[in-house]
Amino acid sequence: MMLEVSVTSPLSADAASRGKAGARAGSKATASPPVLGTYGRVAAWLSKRVEVALAQVELTLPQYRVLGILAEGSAAASGLADRLAVRRPSITALIDGLVARGFVDRRQEDTDRRRVELRLTPEGISTLSRADVAVDEYLIAIAGHLPDKEEAMALRSLELWARAMVESRQGPRPEVGETPAAAAPTPRRTQR
């Protein structure tokens, strides 16, 4: 049996910006008609499509995320747990599986023997590269169902989301008229 799913797009950028501007001014935005698809639902649906693509290289989404973070440089398990927003026992089990598959190497740090660094192995680098290609090709194929201009816009929006997520780790951005010192993020533990 096949089930048809209808998802309408969330508010357009224009409608969303009008709502944001109204919220800043302290006024209530005019009520918009409800939509069947929300940003969160679309993101979850897209996440599931990424999982489907990752199955081609026998990785789970959490494994892919860990490999991607380790591609930026070595890390400690506690730092990974913080970045992935998971509990430390969960990251330990995940790392154990990646070590067993030969994708990640554990090494004691020379300067602090209590600290264990995690690094990608050559096999981990190769697997991450294959996973990146599989996911990119799958997302490009999905976007290919849109007209050319919208296809490019959909793919560009993923790049913008990546930038926004990196910048969001720096803390809140200053509002118009606010001094940078007033919007400075609260100090956080740094990852080594």
- Span of 101-105, 115-119, 128-132, 176-180 with lowest mean pLDDT: 176-180
- Strands (E) across 2-137 are located at 75-76, 104-108, 116-120
Owner of token pair 């993101």:
43
- Residue 38 has a pLDDT of 84
Starting at the edge strand found earlier in the chain, the sheet holding 75-76 runs: 75-76, 116-120, 104-108
Residues constituting the chain: 192
| Tens digits of residue pLDDT in 64-75 | 999 999 998 878
- Residue 177 has a pLDDT of 67
- Residue 189 has a pLDDT of 45
| Tens digits of residue pLDDT in 139-188 | 999 999 999 999 999 999 999 999 998 888 787 776 766 655 554 444 44
- Residue 158 has a pLDDT of 93
